[in-house]
Chains A and B, each alone.
Chain A
Amino acid sequence: MGRPKKKRVGISIDMTPLVDVAFLLLTFFMLTTKFRPVEEVQVVLPDSHSKFKLPESDVMTITFGKEGELLLGVDSQQLRAQLFGEQNKLKSSIRVTLDELPSLAQQARAINPKLRTVIKGDKDAMYGPAEDVMNALQKANIARFELVTNLSRE
């Protein structure tokens, strides 16, 4: 007589709690995710130690890229339609020229006085365009603005 053969036990684990948690997390992430808007130019942000976060609404973004592209964007669709026309409502930012910038910025501020001006410049862009943008803002009587940066890791 040999050893009695061990009977294989069919393990069945109740997966219900696991699934519950998975779906809970899934809904959480689905609801909190905000997809990044498609950007017209890729901008690599410079680093800083600033601890202020970019506000989520009422922002006017002036973007300048590496090659000197200049874009103006506002976060509300309504305002975009008013500024750039109905056909550009869905674009997050519009290419503008330096001469148009002061008047557009002023218009935007007139429509929404709470609008905060934010400059988003590429790290490797030249300082020239940045200087021009800041001069244009001063022309539009916007003396307070913010530069978008990444948090520096040092």
Chain B
Amino acid sequence: MGALDVGGGREHGKKKKKKVRRRLGIRIDMTPLVDVAFLLLTFFMLTTTFSLPQVMEISLPPSESRSEITEQTLLLIRVLEDGRIFWSFGTDKPRPIAPEELRGFLAERATMNPNMIALIKVDRKCKYAHMVKIVDDLHLARISRFSLAPLLEQEKKIVEQAG
């Protein structure tokens, strides 16, 4: 039964004259420590935000620059106050399009005419999110050349008549 006797093994080999001091087996109850550690751990895990928000790049042409474009390459996108979207090429009659169809439409047009330039005119009373969505759709359709312009009152009327 000597095998179970921890620490006894040494004494077999070498007899020591000095009195060996018994090591006291110190036992600390670590449970509260662990509790606190886990509490803090969960706190930091839940509060950490790893994901930074995304950004969407917009580069507008400088205000002085004038670029010559033909009417057929300029896609006008007009957004009315209530979020209805109208598109037209050049001075054509504006045609309505559903917001969820815009992405497909733009992709199609972009493949047909890679030089296309988009001009977005959004009503001031419209929601900001609408504009973000259209810019996002343009990005998805890989149309990188676009600009923003204010929607004029007379344009509103033209669009209203068409719609």
- Answer yes or no: A108 CB below 8 A from chain B CBs: no
- Answer yes or no: A56 CB below 8 A from chain B CBs: yes
* A35 and B43 alpha carbons, distance in the complex (Å): 12
- Answer yes or no: A143 CB below 8 A from chain B CBs: yes
Q: Mark A118-130, 1 if CB is under 8 A from B, else 0.
A: 1001111111111
Are B133 and A50 in contact, CB atoms less than 8 angstroms apart? no
- Answer yes or no: A1 CB below 8 A from chain B CBs: no
Chain A, range 104-154, C-beta contacts under 8 Å to B:
118, 121-131, 134, 138, 141, 143-152
Chain B nearest CB, measured from A10 CB (Å):
13
Are A29 and B54 in contact, CB atoms less than 8 angstroms apart? no
* A35 and B90 alpha carbons, distance in the complex (Å): 50
Chain A nearest CB, measured from B98 CB (Å):
16
Are A121 and B55 in contact, CB atoms less than 8 angstroms apart? no
Chain B nearest CB, measured from A116 CB (Å):
9
Are B44 and A138 in contact, CB atoms less than 8 angstroms apart? no
- Answer yes or no: A33 CB below 8 A from chain B CBs: yes
Chain A interface residue count, Cβ-Cβ cutoff 8 angstroms: 51
Are B128 and A123 in contact, CB atoms less than 8 angstroms apart? yes
A35-B47 contact in complex given A22-B38, A127-B124, C-beta closer than 8 Å? yes
* A74 and B83 alpha carbons, distance in the complex (Å): 33
Contact partner of B34 (CB less than 8 A), chosen from A22, A30, A49, A127, is A22
A positions within 8 Å CB-CB of B: 15, 18-19, 22-23, 25-26, 29-30, 32-36, 45-56, 118, 121-131, 134, 138, 141, 143-152
Q: Could you give 22 example pairs across A and B, Cβ below 8 Å?
A: A19-B34, A22-B37, A22-B38, A25-B45, A26-B41, A33-B48, A46-B133, A48-B132, A52-B54, A52-B57, A54-B55, A121-B132, A126-B125, A127-B127, A128-B124, A143-B60, A144-B60, A147-B135, A149-B54, A151-B51, A151-B54, A152-B136
* Contacts beyond the supplied A53-B55, A147-B56: 19 A-B pairs with Cβ under 8 Å: A15-B30, A29-B45, A45-B53, A46-B128, A47-B136, A50-B56, A51-B54, A53-B54, A54-B52, A123-B127, A124-B127, A124-B129, A125-B127, A126-B125, A127-B130, A130-B131, A138-B62, A146-B57, A147-B135
